[in-house]
Amino acid sequence: MNILSKFFTLFVIFTVFLLVACKHEAAPPIIDENTVPSGICFEDEILPLIQSNCAKSGCHTSGDEDPDLSNYNSIKMLVRAGDPLNSKLYKYAIGSEMPPPPNSALNLEQVTLIYGWIKQGALNNSCSCDTNIYTFSEAVNPIIKRNCLGCHGANSNVPLASYQNIFDNADLILADITYQNNPMPKPPAAKLSDCKIRQIEKWIQAGKLNN
Ligand code: HEC
Q: What DSSP state is assigned to residue 77?
A: T
Model pTM? 0.80
Least confident of 5-19, 75-89, 96-110, 148-162: 5-19
- List all residues 6 or more positions away from 174 whose beta carbon is below 8 Å from its beta carbon: 197, 200, 201, 204
Kindly calculate the radius of gyration of the chain based on its CA atoms and give it in whole angstroms: 21
In testing the pocket of ligand 1, which one of 64, 104, 148, 171 has its CB within 8 Å of the most ligand atoms? 148
- The predicted pLDDT at position 54 comes to 75
At residue 75, the pLDDT reads 94
Would you state the pLDDT for residue 9? Answer: 72
Q: Is 116 in the pocket of ligand 1 (CB under 6 A)?
A: no
Q: Where are the alpha helices (DSSP H) in the chain?
A: 3-23, 47-53, 72-76, 88-94, 108-119, 141-147, 163-168, 170-177, 194-205
pLDDT-based confidence at residue 205 (cuts at 50, 70, 90)? very high
Q: Which are the contacts of 56, defined by CB distance < 8 A and separation ≥ 6?
A: 150, 151, 186
Whether ligand 1 lies within 6 angstroms of the CB of 53 is answered as no
CA 157 to ligand 1 centroid distance, Å = 9
Q: How many angstroms separate the alpha carbon of residue 57 from the centre of ligand 1?
A: 13
pLDDT at 134 over 70: yes
> What average pLDDT does range 64-74 have in this prediction?
80
Q: Please, which pLDDT band fits residue 63 given cuts at 50, 70 and 90? A: low
Q: Residue 173: its pLDDT value, please?
A: 98
Q: Which atom of ligand 1 is nearest to the CA of 55?
A: 1
Q: State residue 11's pLDDT score.
A: 67
CB distance 169 to ligand 1 below 6 Å: yes
Q: What is the pLDDT of residues 6-57, one digit of tens each?
A: 767 766 666 655 555 555 456 677 889 999 999 999 999 999 988 888 776 6
Nearest atom of ligand 1 to the alpha carbon of 57: 1
- Find the range with the poorest average confidence among 72-86, 144-158, 190-204: 144-158
> Is the alpha carbon torsion for 110, 112, 118, 120 positive or negative?
negative
Residue range 108-124, pLDDT digits in tens: 999 999 999 999 999 99
Select from 50, 143, 184, 203 the residue to mutate for testing ligand 1; criterion: most ligand atoms less than 8 Å from CB.
184
pLDDT-wise least confident of 5-9, 44-48, 144-148, 192-196: 5-9
Helices 194-205 and 170-177 pack at an angle, to 10 degrees, of 160
